[in-house]
Homo-oligomer: A and B are copies of this chain.
Amino acid sequence: VRRFVVIGQKARGDGDFLLVDIPSTSGRLDSLLSALRACLLVSHGVRRDTVLYLVLLGDPERPRCVRITGSAARYLRPDERSLAVTVQKALRAPAQRGQFGEVRPGIATLDGGLEQVLPELQGSQLFLLEPGAPDIRDSDLSAPDATFLLGDHVGLPDALRSAWLALGARALSVGPVALHTADAITLVANELDRRAAG
């Protein structure tokens, strides 16, 4: 299983944003939706081997997480507005603390931040994507279950980054230019595709 965790430092977790101005009213959820497309959707299909966690930290008092599971998700359209509607509906449904509840096939939410997701990542090899780290092309990616953590346009909170590394995460980079989160995910997925194809 491939897992991606994207931290939205400013992203609202209550679904209370405007579809006509997603960037300004959602805390840049557009960046996370673009990452969702890059992570789970390929030409005429869904990556069935991939799970994406969006961690929405815009309200520090009430973080929320959304989990999209490629093997179960249905009717995901690749355009931003459709994905925004899907995520908005999911966020408006009631959620439990510390336990994902499915709101439609393949899409689940919980109340809480990254620490509430950690139980799902037991046994997964953890990676951290950041500029300047060792090149992914030279890295061991052979773990059957791997989780890649990425920040959004403002990067990762220091404490969260330190905690992830303390859990044994290895840092990787995807190239010499600092890219949008979606593009970093595309590059990780491609490297995994190439390794899988031998």
A41 CB within 8 Å of chain B: yes
Interface string of A175-193 (1 = CB under 8 A from B): 1111110110011011001
A80 CB within 8 Å of chain B: yes
A124 CB within 8 Å of chain B: no
Contacts of A77 in B (CB 8 A): 23
Q: Which of A29-37, A63-71, A110-118, A159-167 contacts B (4 or more CB under 8 A)?
A: A29-37
CB < 8 Å: which of B20, B22, B78 contacts A34? B78
**CA separation between A134 and B43, bound complex, in Å?**
19
Q: How far is the CB of A87 from chain B (nearest CB, A)?
A: 14
CB < 8 Å: which of B34, B78, B81, B174 contacts A31? B78
Nearest to A82 among chain B residues (CB) is B23
Q: Chain A: residues with CB nearer than 8 A to chain B?
A: 19-23, 30-31, 34, 37-38, 41-44, 77-82, 153, 174-180, 182-183, 186-187, 189-190, 193-194, 196-197
**A-B contacts besides A42-B177, A186-B187, 19 pairs, CB < 8 Å:** A19-B20, A21-B81, A22-B81, A23-B82, A30-B79, A31-B78, A37-B182, A38-B180, A41-B180, A42-B178, A42-B179, A43-B180, A175-B193, A176-B197, A179-B186, A179-B190, A183-B186, A183-B190, A186-B186
